[in-house]
Amino acid sequence: MNQREAQKEWARWKYYVMARSQAEYLNLRQLFSGNQWNEEKEKVFLTSLQKVQELPANPKAMRNAYEHVWGYFKKQATPDERAAFYQRLVAISETQDDALPYLIYLNEKYPNQYLADSKLFN
């Protein structure tokens, strides 16, 4: 995978990683800084993605990521939609997450291809 392909793949995974682990998100963001991409970085990237997928739900990380995603809708969403989102956001737990399905609904109502392609939504 060349640097351009890797950056494209990172864009797809960014919010998923952020929703699982802020530390891994920061590590991967740092990995992609600079213009040098090599096999070692690719290996670190792919290993990190695998590790993140095995992590348990992290409500604090989920809230952070979802608030970032909410930023794509905040100008279009109605006051009722905003209230509904934040009601779901504060109710997130290790076993309960109604905020993500609501963000997916908002993306259907206010389409954003970047988010539609995100691993967070798939």
- Supply the pLDDT for residue 36: 87
Q: Going residue by residue through the chain (122 aa), what tens digit of pLDDT does each one get?
A: 999 999 999 999 999 999 999 999 999 999 998 878 999 999 999 999 999 999 999 999 999 999 999 999 999 999 999 999 999 999 999 999 999 999 999 999 999 999 999 999 98
- Supply the pLDDT for residue 34: 80
- Supply the pLDDT for residue 20: 96
Q: Report the SS3 class of residue 44.
A: helix
The answer to whether residues 28 and 48 touch, using CB atoms and an 8 Å cutoff, is: yes
| Cα–Cα distance for residue pair 117/122, rounded to 1 Å | 8
Look up tokens 């908002």; give the residue.
Answer: 106
CA distances for 8 relative to 13, 35, 70, 95, angstroms = 9, 14, 21, 31
**Where along the chain do its domains lie?**
3-53, 59-116
